[in-house]
A and B are shown apart, each in its own frame.
Chain A
Amino acid sequence: MTATLAPAPVGGPGAGPSPVRRAHARRTAGRLVPMLPAVALLALFMLGPVVWSFYGSFTNAALTGPNALAPEWVGLDNYVALLGDPDFPKALWLTVLFVIASAVIGQNVAGLGLAMLMRSALKPVRAVVSTLVVTAWVLPEIVAAFAAYAFFHADGTLNSLLAGVGIAGPDWLFEHPMLAVILANVWRGTAFSMMVYSAAIAEVPPEITEAATVDGANAAQRLVWVTLPTIRRSISTNLMLTTLQTLSVFTLIYVMTGGGPGTDSSTLPILAYQEAFKFAQVGYGTAIATVMLVIGAVFSVVYIRSLKPEVD
């Protein structure tokens, strides 16, 4: 590695272009050598599965049996089956509901609200509450899922609290599975939005807010007309990041409801997993995975194009 690189740094960065094109190309190639391990890993384990996903979705690959070793090309059959399967549109709808309710609305509004409230809070209150919120986020996903499971279980904390005030709570995980997982995801993920918004609000120049106060704007008007426009970049960044994170939530739902009862809380990641490993239809599961990858890719491209995070 060092041998190929040896001639590279002589000029150092910023040196004028080499008179000989060939030498220039060779120098660039030499400079790229250290990137090989990263590029190889990314190509094998990130690009590889994506390509494999598109290919596999056109086969009838199975978990066991002859189709596991030698899957056949079945063309668009998996996608046709996808459209005819009532579970797929349902899972798509549940995924949209989950993302919008728990990320776009829940985590963002709660995060922004907490960030605003923290500013006028007493120091000990702020320290304790932000520690609690962040702890839910720092915990390993599966432990957070256990905690949420215990909270929403028929014999869990929520119902014992409701019983304390004389209400017989329902079995949340069976009767309102989506509500339970949405609230659990808000509980788990709000910390991220809170931290992003706290950092953003701290950078709003105080003179602007003061000027608005002097002009007679109340707190709500200051929020809508001063704070939100100033931090709009953070808002859109945060919206995209929480959307992408929530799109791929698996563990929380899998532990709390297992996608059930029936498929009443099966979002796309759960459905893909179940089709591939429970019903052994790897090709079909791969088709669902491909749909999810495309959705994720579209969101990523929109995010990168519209926000143009500074590269360099």
Chain B
Amino acid sequence: MAQTATPAPSPVPDVVPAPPARRRTTPSVAAPGPRAARVLSNVVLVVVGLCFLLPLGWIVLASLDASATLAVRLPERFTLENFTAVMTPEQTWVPLANAFLLSAGTGVITVLASVLAAYPLSRYRMRFNKPFLYAVLFGTCLPITAMMVPVYSLFVRLNLLDSLAGTTFFMAATSLPMAIWMTKNFMDSVPISLEEAAWTDGASAMTTLRTIVLPLMRPGIAVVFIFVFIQAWGNFFVPFVLLLTPEKQPAAVSIFAFFGQYGSVAYGQLAAYSMLYALPAVGLYVLVSRLSGGSFALAGAVKG
């Protein structure tokens, strides 16, 4: 966040020693003075913050409440029973392990494929580049939700339904457009001169990619991997449609099943399960925003 923002809004009254008459009239004729405006914007922000806090607060407080309801409130008795109740292998650990397999697999496949694809796009000027990148951008925009019904029938035909591997490859394919775009941008910032030296020494493109380019763009690779991982971790609809056996389903789907079965009675456990499932995503987001220097990096990457 730009800390430089603070002095910017009111440079006239503070910095410029303007005559007192001008100082008093100019702002007050048009709008409330800068100080009043500042107080007002802080108050508005606090109110907005409360609106955002209330739904989030329910998850945290209900997970610690022995007799949780749907309304947010301080627990009469704090307890960790909700957590111990859901922390069983079949309830939480297996679905979380499935989610990890699915997300890590998706991340690895996506990063490998997008690094390989980004290299020629970044290093060679080819007539093919422009149409391909536009096609990739187009793919980034396509609503994946709209595709799920045809994907289901395609998976029936390919005999991939209820297959973790098939689902992983599908999720990798859907995250590829964005990943190729990001990886190419990261790769473009690695100077080409180092590789040219290696090329004249007879190294192949794949060798220079592995020994020179990849080590230099390690943070970029990590950002892409985590970005894809978080998306896959949070994805509900795709595994919901493509994975049928409960033993194979990731946490997103099994938590929905839990909601359907016990959601109307065990709110505390639902909230506790939600916390366990959400924490890795939140933690990884904090990590990725550190890696890419600020929380706006993801939005910037999305902007292209």
Pairwise interchain contact B128-A28, C-beta atoms closer than 8 A = yes
> What's the minimum C-beta distance from A17 to chain B, rounded to whole angstroms?
11
Q: How many residues of A contact B (CB 8 A)?
A: 123
Shortest distance from the beta carbon of B153 to any chain A beta carbon, whole Å: 6
Q: Does B62 contact A (CB under 8 A)?
A: yes
Q: B245 contacts the other chain (Cβ, under 8 Å)? A: no
In the complex, what distance in Å separates the CA atom of A309 from the CA atom of B126? 18
Judge whether B31 is part of the interface by a CB distance below 8 angstroms.
Answer: yes
Query: Contact at A195–B296, with CB atoms within 8 Å?
Result: yes
Given contacts A56-B153, A150-B58, contact A13 B48 (CB under 8 A): no
**A269 to B143, alpha carbons, bound, how many Å?**
10
Is there contact, CB below 8 Å, between A138 and B281? yes
Q: How far, in whole Å, are A42 and B241 apart by their CA atoms in the complex?
A: 20
Q: Using CB atoms, name the residue of chain B closest to A153.
A: B70
Interface flag for B267 (CB, 8 Å): yes
Per-position contact with A for B150-190: 1 when CB-CB < 8 Å, else 0?
11111010000000000001101110110010000000000
Binary interface encoding of chain B residues 104-119 relative to chain A, with 1 for a CB under 8 A from any of its CBs, else 0: 0000010011101101
Residue of B nearest to A128 (CB): B49
Q: Which residue of B lies closest to A138 (CB)?
A: B285
Q: Check if B45 sits within 8 Å of A126, measured CB to CB.
A: yes
Interface of B is mostly: helix
Interchain nearest-CB distance for B225 vs A (Å): 15
Contacts of B295 in A (CB 8 A): 130, 134, 195
Q: How far is the CB of A308 from chain B (nearest CB, A)?
A: 10
Which residue of A is nearest B255, CB measured? A142
Cα separation A240 to B151 with both chains bound (whole Å):
25
SS of A interface (majority):
helix
Give the A-B pair count, Cβ closer than 8 A: 344
Q: Contact: B41 with A121, CB < 8 Å?
A: yes
Q: Once the chains are docked, how many angstroms separate the CA of A192 from the CA of B9?
A: 24
Contact of A151 among B12, B49, B55, B195 (CB under 8 A): B55
A148 contacts the other chain (Cβ, under 8 Å)?
A: yes
- Is B300 an interface residue when CB atoms closer than 8 A count as contact? yes
Known: A38-B113, A195-B295. A146 touches B52 (CB 8 A): no
Q: In the complex, which residues of chain A have a beta carbon less than 8 angstroms from the beta carbon of B243?
A: none
Chain B CB within 8 A of A263 CB = no
Residue A20 lies at the interface, judged by CB distance under 8 Å to chain B: no
| Complex contact A157–B138 (CB within 8 A) | no
Residue total for B at the interface (Cβ-Cβ under 8 A): 121
* One of B74-82, B87-95, B200-208, B214-222 at the interface: B200-208
**Chain A: minimal CB distance from B119 (Å):** 6
Which partner residue on chain B sits nearest A61 by CB separation?
Answer: B153
Q: Assess whether A140 is interfacial by the CB under 8 Å rule.
A: yes
B233 to A, closest residue via Cβ:
A140
Q: A5-B206, A6-B204, A293-B142 are in contact. Are A53 and B147 (CB under 8 A)?
A: yes
Of A46, A53, A161, the contact of B174 (CB 8 Å cutoff): A46
Bound form: Cα–Cα A249–B114 in Å: 26
Instruction: List which B249-276 residues lie within 8 A (CB) of chain A.
Output: 252, 255-256, 259, 267, 270-271, 274
Q: How far is the CB of A152 from chain B (nearest CB, A)?
A: 9
Q: A187 to B52, alpha carbons, bound, how many Å?
A: 7
Sample (13) of A-B pairs whose CB atoms are under 8 Å apart: A31-B126, A32-B128, A38-B116, A52-B151, A53-B149, A117-B44, A118-B1, A133-B52, A147-B58, A192-B299, A219-B37, A273-B148, A311-B129
Closest A-B pairs by Cβ, 7 of them: A218-B30, A45-B173, A248-B143, A300-B141, A140-B234, A292-B146, A248-B145
| 10 more CB-based (< 8 A) A-B contacts, given A134-B295, A147-B274 | A9-B199, A34-B206, A118-B45, A130-B1, A139-B282, A143-B274, A150-B267, A277-B241, A285-B149, A309-B137
